[in-house]
Structure 1
Amino acid sequence: MKRVSKAGDVTRMDLWNFVQERDISESVVEMLIEEKKGCCPELQLLEINNTLQRDYSDYRQFQLGIEALQLGCPKLQVLRLLNLLWLPKSSRASAFCTAGFPHLEELCLATSFFSFVEDQILHRILHESHSLRVLDLRGCYRITPTGLAKLPCKNVECLYLGLYCSGSSSNQLLPKEGSYLFTEKWHHCLAELDLSGHVFSENDLETAIAKLAINEGRSPLRSLNLGGTKISLNSVRQVITQCPQLSFLNLASCRHLPRGWKRAYKGQEDIRQLLLRLLESKSDDSVC
């Protein structure tokens, strides 16, 4: 660590399986923000990735000084904190008094078990990140559609909100309405969207899909994960019709779809065959 702490020209730091103990996690961050100038002022990529643990008690919680990290690493473009159990340190000054991460293009806070990340924390990180393109919040079940809609990021291309936590009580916290808020905000730029495991109502998802399809055949959407949601056949038909670049569509475990439709469709030909089935199904319904 002493060797890295003197490397002012370091632009990339990957720390895999490095945070088995809480004090190690905190020392890494403290090293980066030393004296509020940072030992790595040129750092552009920081990834800390913990090994998946079998039990929640095996995770070590640590505190992250968000504003101090922003001051210490002003050129950060990619920040990945994966499978970590962390809380933000309280800040004396307002979070919005700092310069934020003005160059940040990718933020990944994905976890498969538990997360403290909520709207306010997300805004503390991203309040100046106008160029963000990738936002990975898989497992961050406390984030709300309203919170996402208020972000200053105007051109998010990849938005991952899927929930993969098993045996969790997080479902009680999940919003049932509002998915249309972020599809409306980013309909012009979203290329990949993951909503798997969410409990948005059928009507809410219908509105969200309508916002995605508002480009009338010019949507950039390539990948859509709706596994385990309440998506309807009508909404599936609409998104395929209006999003010609779609090459991945996951409908596995979608409770409102008939049997035989619930699977992942890979490749444009597979999706084209699905559309033909949907059109035939609609034709049969009209005959009846």
Structure 2
Amino acid sequence: MPKYPKGILGVRKDPKNQILFSFSARQGDEWPSDDDDDSDYRPGNGSDSDYEGTSTSKQSQKRKIKHTKTKRSTKKKVKQDNDKCTDKRTRPNNTRDHDHPAFHGEVPSLPTEIWEKIFKIIVQKDGALPFLERASKVCKLWKDISVQPHLWEKVDMSFGWMNLNETALRSICASRLGLCKELNVSGCKFMNHPWGVQAITDNCHNLRAINLSNCKKLPTGSVDNIVSSCKLLQDIDLSSTTVDAVSQQTSCNIAEKCGANLRKIVISENFAKNLSKFLTKLMEHCPNLEHLDMSNVKWQSGLLYDIELFQRKCPKLKRFFSSNNAGRVQATQQDSPGFPNLEELSLATIESNRIVTSDFVQRFVKNATKLRLIDLRGCISDTVGVVTTLKDIEASNVEQLYLARSQVASCSVLDDILCKWRHSLTHLDLSWNNFVRDTLDVALNQMCDYDGDLKIIQLNLAGTNVHMDILKKVLRKMTKLEQLDLSSCRDLDRG
């Protein structure tokens, strides 16, 4: 179809009879016109173009001039900024600059000794990896510093910062881990191969601590080789490893070869055939033992506790974790120094545990004046009451008390226990206990009557019969409270 030349509102344009049309645009806005695009548009005397030339065209020209000036001023400003940056880079070092200069890919020129001290501070705080691996890619100076063995004393490879094959692992162990003291290879795949273990035994003779947890495919004899080669070992973590790693022969070799150096050993989440034999060997050869974790260990033969002998042979014990372990306790022996340095005790259990009785707890915490953590969750087998013995404990500054699903529900001295340690408690767990009448409310009420500031950070009352008026008082008094669990508290107001 032929295109008919039409003007505004579809009216055919006539050059002899021009139509003047205006939208009365606001001042400062220029309404666009498409007359220039029309093929039949021819301006003449007295036409729209002549009229607009006197006003609109002048404004348009002013805007164009202003826009041009703005562009020129912007280019000039950018050029001045570039000149300033150039001046800053070429400025002598003794001049002061209050603004922080941009980094241009060059490391500040500091003496190598200063850089070594900076690296050492970072490594002591965060470990060698991943910092040293990333720093070695910055420049040649940092690469030379990052490979120095004295910076690789604490190495954590468990997060996979380095993808290591046999050649790379042997090279790193030979060049950087000669002075390593703490090595974490938890879950590392290269520990599934004999060459991974050999790289450590051949080069890391100064190790004080090694973490082999979650290495579920350790070659047979790996732990024996490591203990034989690293004769300064003080800390060994074998949690969730192989049966061979915690076998009777291996555990006995650990106790015999580490001897008095051994401070900490963790064998939790494993299967052991004879745990009593391992405990006996620790008593014979490791008098400086401070940390023992046997939580969730399954064994074939029962565990026999000789508490008083344990106290005499390992008097420096600070942390003892034996959750979900059952066994037998030998008869009481009078001559025992107790555990005067004991700080943390965990005897928690999921199922009924006959070993955790009031007699066991009373004998184990003898002279434990420094006790800070007590975990008796699930201890409900003793008719006398395990929790009742807590009021007679000599420790005066217990910070963490966990009594979930325990006999605290029927304990008549709960208020005495909470009042005894209310000045020091930071974590309190009384969850899933159906307290008799108002036992819980009375205990919490007396606890909140303390004149000083309560230090409670975490409070777990889930599944209890706490009431709203007591809860309000607790919230007003515990100003440092960060976590509060009230799930399944049916006696609280809904909403």
State the Cα distance separating 1:146 from its structure 2 match: 2.7
SS in 2 for 1:82: coil
State the Cα distance separating 1:211 from its structure 2 match: 2.3
State the Cα distance separating 1:177 from its structure 2 match: 3.3
Are the aligned partners of 2:388 and 2:411 in contact in 1 as well (CA < 8 Å)? Answer: no
**4+ residue runs over 3 A deviation:** 18-21, 58-61, 142-145
Are the aligned partners of 1:217 and 1:243 in contact in 2 as well (CA < 8 Å)? Answer: no
Residue of structure 1 aligned with 2:347, choices 85, 106, 109: 109
Are the aligned partners of 1:19 and 1:25 in contact in 2 as well (CA < 8 Å)? Answer: no
- Which residue does 2:261 correspond to in 1? 9
Change (3 A) 1:2 1:105: same
- Which residue does 1:220 correspond to in 2? 455
State the Cα distance separating 1:214 from its structure 2 match: 2.2
Alignment of 1:139-158 (within 5 A): 139-141=378-380, 142=382, 143-158=385-400
- Which residue does 1:45 correspond to in 2? 291
Change (3 A) 1:119 1:2: closer
- Which residue does 1:124 correspond to in 2? 363
Deviates more, 1:179-188 or 1:82-91: 82-91
* Separation (CA, whole Å) in 1 of partners of 2:437 and 2:444: 11
Deviations 1:97-124 (A, max 9, x none): 3000000000011111122212221010
* Separation (CA, whole Å) in 1 of partners of 2:404 and 2:480: 21
Are the aligned partners of 2:387 and 2:411 in contact in 1 as well (CA < 8 Å)? Answer: no
State the Cα distance separating 1:133 from its structure 2 match: 0.4
Are the aligned partners of 1:209 and 1:235 in contact in 2 as well (CA < 8 Å)? Answer: yes
State the Cα distance separating 1:178 from its structure 2 match: 2.8
Q: Number of residue pairs matched? A: 239
* Separation (CA, whole Å) in 1 of partners of 2:311 and 2:376: 20
State the Cα distance separating 1:255 from its structure 2 match: 2.5
Deviations 1:254-282 (A, max 9, x none): 2312334xxxxxxxxxxxxxxxxxxxxxx
TM-score of the superposed pair, with normalisation by structure 1: 0.77
Are the aligned partners of 1:119 and 1:148 in contact in 2 as well (CA < 8 Å)? Answer: no
* Separation (CA, whole Å) in 2 of partners of 1:86 and 1:174: 25
Residue of structure 2 aligned with 1:70, choices 308, 311, 315: 311
One-letter amino acid of the counterpart of residue 392, structure 2: K
Are the aligned partners of 1:177 and 1:201 in contact in 2 as well (CA < 8 Å)? Answer: no
Are the aligned partners of 1:184 and 1:212 in contact in 2 as well (CA < 8 Å)? Answer: yes
- Which residue does 1:177 correspond to in 2? 412
Residue of structure 2 aligned with 1:204, choices 439, 445, 454: 439
State the Cα distance separating 1:16 from its structure 2 match: 1.8
State the Cα distance separating 1:238 from its structure 2 match: 1.0
SS in 2 for 1:13: strand
Are the aligned partners of 2:350 and 2:378 in contact in 1 as well (CA < 8 Å)? Answer: yes
Deviations 1:204-234 (A, max 9, x none): 1111112221234610111111111111111
TM-score of the superposed pair, with normalisation by structure 2: 0.46
State the Cα distance separating 1:174 from its structure 2 match: 5.1
State the Cα distance separating 1:152 from its structure 2 match: 0.9
Change (3 A) 1:187 1:135: same
- Listed as ranges, the gaps of 5+ residues in structure 1 are 53-57, 164-169, 261-288
Deviations 1:163-200 (A, max 9, x none): 2xxxxxx88x9515332121111111111111112222
Deviations 1:68-90 (A, max 9, x none): 11111110110110211123222
- Which residue does 2:488 correspond to in 1? 253
SS in 1 for 2:266: strand
One-letter amino acid of the counterpart of residue 180, structure 1: D
State the Cα distance separating 1:11 from its structure 2 match: 0.3
Larger of the two Rg values belongs to structure: 2
Deviates more, 1:63-72 or 1:39-48: 63-72
Are the aligned partners of 1:202 and 1:231 in contact in 2 as well (CA < 8 Å)? Answer: no
- Listed as ranges, the gaps of 5+ residues in structure 2 are 1-250
Change (3 A) 1:174 1:25: farther
% identical equivalent positions: 29
One-letter amino acid of the counterpart of residue 309, structure 2: A
Residue of structure 2 aligned with 1:187, choices 389, 411, 422: 422
* Separation (CA, whole Å) in 2 of partners of 1:63 and 1:174: 30
* Separation (CA, whole Å) in 1 of partners of 2:465 and 2:490: 6
Are the aligned partners of 1:76 and 1:104 in contact in 2 as well (CA < 8 Å)? Answer: yes
SS in 2 for 1:184: helix
Q: Aligned Cα RMSD in Å?
A: 2.2
Deviates more, 1:58-67 or 1:202-211: 58-67
- Which residue does 2:241 correspond to in 1? none
* Separation (CA, whole Å) in 2 of partners of 1:69 and 1:255: 45
Are the aligned partners of 1:138 and 1:160 in contact in 2 as well (CA < 8 Å)? Answer: yes
* Separation (CA, whole Å) in 2 of partners of 1:239 and 1:214: 10
* Separation (CA, whole Å) in 2 of partners of 1:82 and 1:207: 30
One-letter amino acid of the counterpart of residue 196, structure 1: S
One-letter amino acid of the counterpart of residue 81, structure 1: S
